[in-house]
């Protein structure tokens, strides 16, 4: 179900990264307090070209190349937000966010709480995450579970161009620090319709990406895209009717939609590309087991990356690590056969 508020019905087909760029462009034009900072976000347009053309349009005071230091990118954003600006901080890869962890978790997440509501912190930290691009050890990590554990942050992961634009606009307008993780494997691989004009998608509600009755698949980011493909495969080849729940916002989590789907199907598969143990899917499984026990009609299963230190660089080993539509379809068939 779409929850966006649209002001224009004309639509175009664009990639995920084009939708993100358009969201930032429109928000920069709307509010002069917004600026972007990060490594190479200026004339180069960012490592993935998400900010391409914005430096020429808005100038060096609003599209600011930062030093090579993620801790300073986050710290500058926090200081600017406290001073009344609305920064968008770009991490080149989510893998590099760890030096900024203390600033985000100890300062940004707690600023509003410790100031008794006097200092809201309207900042967005954008970070490309996940594997599948042959990036290897330091360019493929999934770090969302670290931040979804922290009250005071919001954690958002889109899987479609429509949601990418609408959710990023909502994140920029939010008065809280928002971690906005982008599935970089899908930057140019995922295409979809995006309406002209201003619209937002609210942070919080999950989306039913595909209606079904036999089993619920819970996923986000690239895995939500893959899960929809897998659902089409098992419907076509095995007459299995799968519902796909695109979680979209990990924190705050839309438990109502998750449980409503589980009540409908009685079977659940949770898919994520982080390491299996203590990844975000463990929280979803716990909620379904705890609050949806009476709906359960089979074991709640997770499909995730193995518990190894990193996504391998070798393409063959990377494929062994990553969930994909074929693996998801096989897991669906196993649960249905229970």
- Domain assignment of residue 1, yes or no: no
Give the CATH number for residue 185: 3.40.50.970
So what's the pLDDT on residue 221? 98
Per-residue pLDDT of the chain in tens (338 residues, 90 and over written 9): 444 444 557 999 999 999 999 999 999 999 999 999 999 999 999 999 999 999 999 999 999 999 999 999 999 999 999 999 999 999 999 999 999 999 999 999 999 999 999 999 999 999 999 999 999 989 999 999 999 999 999 999 999 999 999 999 999 999 999 999 999 999 999 999 999 999 999 999 999 999 999 999 999 999 999 999 999 999 999 999 999 999 999 999 999 999 999 999 999 999 999 999 999 999 999 999 999 999 999 999 999 999 999 999 999 999 999 999 999 999 999 999 99
**In the block, residue with structure tokens 């620090």:** 177
So what's the pLDDT on residue 2? 44
- Domain assignment of residue 200, yes or no: no
- Domain assignment of residue 3, yes or no: no
Long-range contacts of 284-292 (CB under 8 A, 24+ apart): 284/218, 284/247, 284/253, 284/258, 287/253, 287/255, 287/258, 287/259, 288/258, 288/259, 288/262, 291/255, 291/259, 292/259, 292/262, 292/263
Element containing residue 338 per DSSP (H, E): none
Report phi then psi at 122, rounded to 5: -80, 85
Domain boundary among 195, 219, 249: 195
Residue 156 and residue 259 share a domain: no
Residue 168 and residue 266 share a domain: no
The question of whether 315 is a catalytic residue gets the answer: no
Total domains, the chain? 2
Q: Range of 271's domain?
A: 207-337
Residue 252 preceded by cis peptide, ω within 30: yes
Residue 146 and residue 119 share a domain: yes
- Single out the residue of 9, 46, 19, 6 nearest to residue 190, CA to CA: 19
- Domain assignment of residue 6, yes or no: no
**In the block, residue with structure tokens 């690239």:** 222
- Domain assignment of residue 54, yes or no: yes
So what's the pLDDT on residue 5? 46
Residue 80 and residue 53 share a domain: yes
Give the CATH number for residue 244: 3.40.50.920
Question: What is this structure's pTM?
Answer: 0.96
With contact defined as beta carbons under 8 Å apart, do 36 and 225 qualify? no
DSSP letter (8 states) at residue 238: H
Residue 333 and residue 235 share a domain: yes
Residue 165 and residue 248 share a domain: no
Residue 162 and residue 26 share a domain: yes
So what's the pLDDT on residue 324? 98
Residue 60 and residue 106 share a domain: yes
So what's the pLDDT on residue 156? 98
Q: How far apart are the C-alpha atoms of 159 and 4, rounded to whole Å?
A: 15
First to last CA, the chain: 30
Residue 296 and residue 235 share a domain: yes
Residue 294 and residue 191 share a domain: no
So what's the pLDDT on residue 332? 98
Residue 299 and residue 191 share a domain: no
- Domain assignment of residue 222, yes or no: yes
Annotated catalytic residue: which of 139, 149, 225, 315? Answer: 139
So what's the pLDDT on residue 306? 97
Residue 279 and residue 232 share a domain: yes
User: Largest Cα–Cα distance of the chain, in whole Å?
Assistant: 59
- Domain assignment of residue 56, yes or no: yes
- Domain assignment of residue 7, yes or no: no
């Amino acid at each position: 179900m779409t929850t966006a508020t649209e002001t224009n019905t004309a639509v175009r087909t664009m990639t995920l990264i084009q939708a993100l760029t358009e969201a930032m462009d429109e928000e920069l034009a709307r509010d002069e307090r917004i600026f972007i900072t990060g490594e190479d976000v200026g004339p180069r347009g960012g490592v993935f070209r998400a900010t391409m053309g914005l430096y020429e349009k808005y100038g060096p005071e609003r599209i600011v190349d930062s030093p090579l230091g993620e801790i300073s990118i986050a710290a500058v954003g926090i200081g600017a937000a406290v001073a009344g600006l609305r920064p968008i901080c770009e991490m080149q890869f989510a893998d590099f966010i760890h030096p900024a962890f203390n600033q985000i978790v100890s300062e940004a997440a707690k600023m509003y709480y410790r100031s008794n509501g006097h200092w809201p912190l309207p900042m967005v930290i954008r970070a490309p995450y996940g594997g599948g691009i042959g990036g290897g050890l330091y360019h493929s990590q999934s770090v969302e579970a670290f931040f979804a554990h922290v009250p005071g942050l919001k954690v958002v992961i889109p899987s479609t161009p429509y949601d990418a634009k609408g959710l990023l606009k909502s994140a920029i307008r939010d008065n809280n620090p928002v971690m906005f993780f982008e599935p970089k494997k899908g930057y140019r691989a995922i295409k979809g319709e995006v309406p002209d004009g201003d619209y937002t998608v609210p942070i919080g509600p999950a989306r039913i990406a595909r209606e079904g009755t036999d089993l619920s698949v819970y996923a986000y980011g690239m895995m939500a895209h893959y899960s929809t493909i897998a659902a089409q495969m098992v419907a076509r080849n095995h007459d299995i009717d799968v519902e796909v729940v695109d979680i979209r916002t990990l924190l705050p989590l839309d438990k109502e939609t998750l449980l409503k789907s589980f009540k409908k199907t009685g079977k659940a598969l949770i898919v994520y590309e982080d390491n299996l143990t203590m990844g975000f899917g463990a929280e979803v499984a716990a909620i379904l087991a705890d609050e949806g026990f009476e709906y359960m009609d089979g074991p709640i299963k997770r499909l995730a990356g193995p518990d190894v230190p990193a996504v391998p660089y070798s393409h063959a080993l990377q494929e062994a690590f990553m969930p994909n539509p074929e693996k998801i379809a096989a897991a669906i068939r196993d649960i249905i056969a229970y």
